[in-house]
Amino acid sequence: MSRQFLAEGLELSGGDYGIVAVVAVVALIALLIGWMLLKEVLATGQGTAKMQDIAKAVQEGAAAYLKRQRNTLSIFGVIVFLLLFALPADDWKERIGRSIFFLVGAVFSFLIGYTGMWLATRANLRVAAASREQGGREKAMRIAFRTGGSVGMFTVGLGLFGAAVVVLAYAGQAPKVLEGFGFGAALIAMFMRVGGGIFTKAADVGADLVGKVEQNIPEDDPRNAATIADNVGDNVGDCAGMAADLFESYAVTLVAALILGSTAFGADGLIFPLIVPAIGVVTAVIGVYITRARVNEGGLKTINRSFYISALISLVLCAVASFVFLPTSFADFGAQYANAGNPALIAFVAVLIGIVLAGLILQLTGYYTGTEHGPVKNVGKTSETGAATVILSGISVGFESAVYTAIVIGAAVFGAYLLGGAIALFAVALAGTGLLTTVGVIVAMDTFGPVSDNAQGIAEMSGDVDEQAAQTLTELDAVGNTTKAITKGIAIATAVLAATALFGSYQDSIGKALATIGTDATGVKSFIDTIVSPNTLVGVMVGAAVVFMFSGLAVNAVSRAAGAVVYEVRRQFREIAGIMEGTTRPEYGRVVDIVTRDSLRELATPGLLAVFAPIAVGFGLGTGALAGYLAGAIATGTLMAIFLANSGGAWDNAKKLVEDGNHGGKGSEAHAATVIGDTVGDPFKDTAGPAINPLIKVMNLVSVLIAPAIVQFSVGPDASLGVRLAISLVALAVIVVAVVVSKRRSTAISDTPAETQEPAKTA
């Protein structure tokens, strides 16, 4: 029997186990380096007592939020853990392993998010303090980037270690167990991304509407009761949420590559996808340590240079690994591979496609969201004619950038697919692992943004920095806006590559399930050919519709939570004497509590939609319709996520341009217009847009997990239309109830609170 068909009972050689063990050691080294970077950041100065007091309030708010979120997510985790036992599996060892590693993936995802938040809430103070010192710009930038580097090392370390442990423990059964690991990481990341996104943008929008627009005070003015909640939100959204998102992107892409690799050609395909991200650990360390700001050099240029250097080193090392580890012929893998080409060359070029894709996304996103490029300058210019033109121009930027970015991602997917030939889907997955080699630096870039943003907030609220230090922090904040947009773009690309590979895993899972119940090859082909049917078209439309529904729920959730913030901040300005004069401290904790409560309440509906919609479609309309559903969700999700992220980023940096003195500067009508544009863009770029990344992967993983059960109740000996429809109707009922409950909540922003609140004490 050819080696490629041995995946289910695959036995690794001693040398194979040795390589996987080395990969596990590399992962542990990444965790050690992450710890060293963390200690380096914490060893730096903490600034004045007032700065420390403000930072402590942010730390306490973020910790309280994540503690309550942990309790909420634990309920979902336990339920899914039990449900996984009910899904078909080859044996109890596989079933137990899949469920246990679901919990491992979920715990790792939460730990990454918590670590990112914990360190960021301490680094922001240190960045603000460093800006006051001699050479402050360089010191502040180094601290911010190494904070992200620490989180990046933890991300790649835990992801790689988890996958390596599964392969060591389960060998040929590892792909099935890894489905649970990836699903746990993706599900928790989606909840953290949605919950954190609602929290951060509810606080941000509420603070801006009352502070900037109504009271005409600065963004981080301590008189605004929502400022602490806003700074907390940066951490629970952009640090905790995005760190968990990037971790699950890492884990799910790796899982897809291992599943398809083992199916394509056995042990080589199971181990090589581990080697590539292990190389990425090495290059990430290099990328973090060589990032040093130069005098008279823009911060973004410094970060981009480090990214390209680390990507180039990854490319060289992956080339060596491909030609040393992989065979140069498919001769030993069966007759169907006779004309497939050189597997080592295919693997290297596929990895090259992924690395180049990361570089192109960086360039495209930087162009559409950077303050020095035409699109953002044009949005800033339109502020002279009012808020409406700002909003229209920002939407235009989002639409345009979505098309070009989708074309680039699509070209990468199709190029890898054509390159792979007989192992086409594995080549797509390898392109994803190539992109993974940049994740360590990407996480550093992402965390750099909220840390810089918070540092500026602490400096402004404390009033303990001079004009030069304030300018330094403003510059780093603007750079951070662009790096956050870039990481969102790369996260989207990773999501598409992973989802495309998982789409192939879904078909593979159907084929194996049919073979298990004894359907012959003709029957298998006929069954899979049902994909080309009206049901499939219905599935495509439903998949696209779910992306729109999910985005609408996320934006509406921000609107509702922001309404409560606006009411509370207005009440405090109105009822608490001395706030505007700066003689009375606002009740910051009230706002933090409001957005914590509302964000955790609001995340349930999008989460239920993501999990139960594939179940409703798959059991109700069949495997072909579910395939169409996934295709529609991937395609629509790609365009929607890019549009939301880049239009929001353009609005944000257009506001920065005006605040730097262009088009009338702060306090002008142009500034008011860009503030409104930025307020619209906040839930676009930091809530709905980023949440689509884990959404499409969760839906694909759910589909892969339920595919054997759908087949079992469709054409197997247990076939039952009644059972299928019953499962589908229950899933549909869950969605309907969740949406109806969500829609009944008020979306109006007014002076009438959504819930009765205790009267606040007046000064």
Q: What is the pLDDT of residue 278?
A: 92
Q: Are 153 and 284 in contact (CB under 8 A)?
A: yes
Residue 27, pLDDT above cutoff 90 = yes
**Residue 491: how many CB atoms within 10 A of its CB?**
29
DSSP 422: G
Q: How far is residue 757's CA from residue 321's CA, in Å, rounded to a whole number?
A: 62
Q: Are 589 and 568 in contact (CB under 8 A)?
A: no
Structure token digits, residue 373: 């490029």
Residues 6+ apart with CB under 8 A from 719: 712, 713
Q: How far is residue 657's CA from residue 645's CA, in Å, rounded to a whole number?
A: 18
Question: Alpha-carbon dihedral of residues 412, 156, 229, 67, nearest 10 degrees?
Answer: 130
Q: Pick left, alpha or beta for residue 582 (phi over 0 → left; psi -120 to 50 → alpha; otherwise beta).
A: left
Q: Which of 102-116, 455-469, 532-546 is modeled with the greatest confidence?
A: 102-116
Q: What's the pTM?
A: 0.76
Q: How many residues does the chain have?
A: 763
Residues 6+ apart with CB under 8 A from 674: 379, 380, 383, 390, 651, 654, 655, 657, 658
Q: How far is residue 386's CA from residue 380's CA, in Å, rounded to a whole number?
A: 10
What is the H or E stretch that residue 74 is in?
helix 49-86
Q: What is the pLDDT of residue 104?
A: 93
When pLDDT is averaged across residues 705-726 and rounded to a whole number, the result is 84
Residue 508, pLDDT above cutoff 70 = no
When pLDDT is averaged across residues 120-125 and rounded to a whole number, the result is 88
**Residue 635: how many CB atoms within 10 A of its CB?**
18
With cut-offs at 50, 70 and 90, classify the pLDDT of residue 401. Answer: confident
Structure token digits, residue 625: 């319709």
Q: What is the pLDDT of residue 727?
A: 92
Q: How far is residue 543's CA from residue 347's CA, in Å, rounded to a whole number?
A: 32
With cut-offs at 50, 70 and 90, classify the pLDDT of residue 333. Answer: low
* Spatial CA neighbour of 389 closest among 763, 672, 619, 85: 672
When pLDDT is averaged across residues 55-75 and rounded to a whole number, the result is 82
With cut-offs at 50, 70 and 90, classify the pLDDT of residue 31. Answer: very high
332 to 2, 17, 278, 327, 423: CA distances (angstroms): 7, 21, 27, 9, 15
Q: Cα–Cα–Cα angle for 349, 355, 357, nearest 5°?
A: 100
Structure token digits, residue 89: 């599996």
Q: Coil, strand or helix: which one is 46? A: coil
Kindly report which listed range (286-290, 329-333, 358-362) carries the lowest average pLDDT score. 329-333
| Burial class of 66 by CB neighbour count within 10 A (0 to 12, 13 to 18, 19+) | buried
Q: Cα–Cα–Cα angle for 347, 19, 332, nearest 5°?
A: 50
Q: Are 458 and 124 in contact (CB under 8 A)?
A: yes
Q: Are 505 and 259 in contact (CB under 8 A)?
A: yes
Note the pLDDT tens digit of each residue in 597-638. Answer: 888 777 778 888 888 999 999 998 888 888 889 988 988 998
Residue 389, pLDDT above cutoff 60 = yes
Q: What is the pLDDT of residue 726?
A: 93
Residue 372, pLDDT above cutoff 90 = no
Q: What is the pLDDT of residue 505?
A: 66
Residue 313, pLDDT above cutoff 90 = yes
Q: How far is residue 108's CA from residue 596's CA, in Å, rounded to a whole number?
A: 23
Q: Are 146 and 41 in contact (CB under 8 A)?
A: yes
Note the pLDDT tens digit of each residue in 513-571. Answer: 666 666 554 454 455 545 545 677 678 878 888 888 888 788 878 877 888 888 888 88
Single-letter amino acid code for the residue at 551: S
Structure token digits, residue 563: 């309404």
Calculate what percentage of the chain has a pLDDT beyond 90.
14
How distant is the alpha carbon of residue 81 from its chain centre?
23
Q: How far is residue 575's CA from residue 225's CA, in Å, rounded to a whole number?
A: 13
When pLDDT is averaged across residues 418-422 and rounded to a whole number, the result is 78
Residue 303, pLDDT above cutoff 80 = yes
Q: How far is residue 678's CA from residue 672's CA, in Å, rounded to a whole number?
A: 10
User: What's the count of helices (H) and strands (E) in the chain, helices before strands?
Assistant: 22, 0
Q: Cα–Cα–Cα angle for 160, 162, 163, nearest 5°?
A: 65
Note the pLDDT tens digit of each residue in 85-101. Answer: 877 666 788 888 888 99
Please, how many CA atoms are within 13 Å of residue 646, restricted to the half-sphere of its CB?
36
Q: What is the pLDDT of residue 30?
A: 94
Q: How far is residue 229's CA from residue 592's CA, in Å, rounded to a whole number?
A: 5
Residues 6+ apart with CB under 8 A from 666: 218, 658, 659
Structure token digits, residue 285: 């360390």
Q: What is the pLDDT of residue 279?
A: 94
Alpha helices by DSSP H, listed for 603-668, are 604-621, 623-659
Write down the residue that tokens 């922090």 correspond to: 473
* Spatial CA neighbour of 687 closest among 191, 219, 108: 191
DSSP 688: I
DSSP 759: P
Single-letter amino acid code for the residue at 391: I
Structure token digits, residue 26: 């590399």
Average per-residue pLDDT for the chain: 81
Q: What is the pLDDT of residue 425?
A: 80
With cut-offs at 50, 70 and 90, classify the pLDDT of residue 319. Answer: very high
Residue 5, pLDDT above cutoff 60 = no
Kindly report which listed range (4-8, 269-273, 607-611) carries the lowest average pLDDT score. 4-8
Q: Are 732 and 725 in contact (CB under 8 A)?
A: no
Residues 6+ apart with CB under 8 A from 601: none
Residue 754, pLDDT above cutoff 70 = no
Q: Are 440 and 153 in contact (CB under 8 A)?
A: yes
Q: What is the pLDDT of residue 747?
A: 44
Q: Are 166 and 174 in contact (CB under 8 A)?
A: yes
Residue 275, pLDDT above cutoff 90 = yes
Q: How far is residue 710's CA from residue 708's CA, in Å, rounded to a whole number?
A: 5
Q: Are 243 and 115 in contact (CB under 8 A)?
A: yes
When pLDDT is averaged across residues 6-16 and rounded to a whole number, the result is 65
With cut-offs at 50, 70 and 90, classify the pLDDT of residue 763. Answer: very low
When pLDDT is averaged across residues 700-719 and rounded to a whole number, the result is 83
Calculate what percentage of the chain has a pLDDT beyond 70.
89
Q: What is the pLDDT of residue 517?
A: 63
Q: Coil, strand or helix: which one is 468? A: helix
Q: What is the pLDDT of residue 332?
A: 66
More confident residue, 37 or 422: 37
More confident residue, 534 or 703: 703
DSSP 269: H
